[in-house]
């Protein structure tokens, strides 16, 4: 188990677009393992490669449901519901902060698995939110760029009217 250092807001690598994954080799598989370990160690529900300093289109997500750890290489959102969810969102690269962010309630993502095989995944609720949040990282976008508003320290501790779920992504 190898825990990698999580890049924090202010590091250039979080603001750069990532390149496509082209090699689905052992090195990728080791990185995926480290990313999952790092995400779990930090109690996050998602982690994107630039958050560990790697500018490749790689995301891991684990919202604690039946999917387990989801690995997405070169993911693209192909469908978004018109229905919107509004709730709190955090990010392991911005510790101690949260915002209210509106996301589609459901999305479909097209991606490749660790062997390069294409697949489609549908996500709803927290999973849809995590997919949107993590894919934004691949283009150097953070939730603070798209949030409705930032939460105060008091609100982070307590509950907000729109509160749907509590998650650090």
| Contact residues: Ni ion, CB under 5 A | 91, 169
Shortest distance in whole angstroms from residue 134 CB to Ni ion: 7
Half-sphere exposure of 51 (CA within 13 A, CB side): 30
Q: Which is nearer to Ni ion, 167 or 169 (CB)?
A: 169
The closest residue (CB) to Ni ion is 91
Shortest distance in whole angstroms from residue 106 CB to Ni ion: 20
The residues with which 61 forms a beta bridge, in sequence order, are 46, 70
Q: Which two tokens stand for residue 95?
A: 């510790």
CA 68, CA 49: separation in Å to the nearest integer?
Answer: 18
Shortest distance in whole angstroms from residue 128 CB to Ni ion: 15
Of 75, 17, 16, 7, the closest CA to residue 42 belongs to 7
Count CB-CB contacts under 10 A for residue 21: 20
Shortest distance in whole angstroms from residue 150 CB to Ni ion: 15
> How many whole angstroms from its chain centre is CA 141?
11
Q: Which is nearer to Ni ion, 9 or 25 (CB)?
A: 9
Q: Which is nearer to Ni ion, 111 or 138 (CB)?
A: 138
Catalytic residue among 71, 89, 134, 169: 134
What are the C-alpha distances in Å from 14 to residues 67, 85, 109, 138, 141?
A: 27, 25, 22, 8, 8
Q: Which is nearer to Ni ion, 24 or 40 (CB)?
A: 40
Please name the residue that has the structure tokens 């080791």: 30
Active site residue 150: no
Q: Name the residues annotated as catalytic.
A: 134
């Amino acid at each position: 188990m190898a825990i990698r250092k999580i890049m924090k807001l202010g590091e250039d690598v979080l603001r750069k677009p990532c390149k496509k994954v082209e090699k689905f080799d052992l090195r990728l598989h080791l990185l995926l393992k480290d990313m999952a370990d790092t995400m779990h160690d930090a109690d996050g529900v998602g982690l994107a490669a630039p958050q560990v300093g790697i500018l490749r289109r790689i995301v891991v997500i684990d919202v604690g449901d039946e999917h387990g750890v989801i690995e997405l290489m070169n993911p693209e959102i192909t469908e978004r519901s018109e229905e919107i969810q509004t709730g709190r969102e955090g990010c392991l690269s911005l510790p101690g902060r949260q915002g209210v962010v509106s996301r589609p309630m459901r999305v479909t993502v097209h991606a490749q698995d660790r062997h390069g095989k294409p697949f489609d995944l549908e996500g709803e609720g927290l999973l849809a939110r995590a997919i949107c949040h993590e894919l934004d990282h691949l283009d150097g976008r953070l939730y603070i760029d798209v949030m409705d508003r930032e939460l105060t320290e008091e609100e982070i501790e307590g509950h907000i009217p729109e509160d749907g779920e509590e998650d650090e992504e």
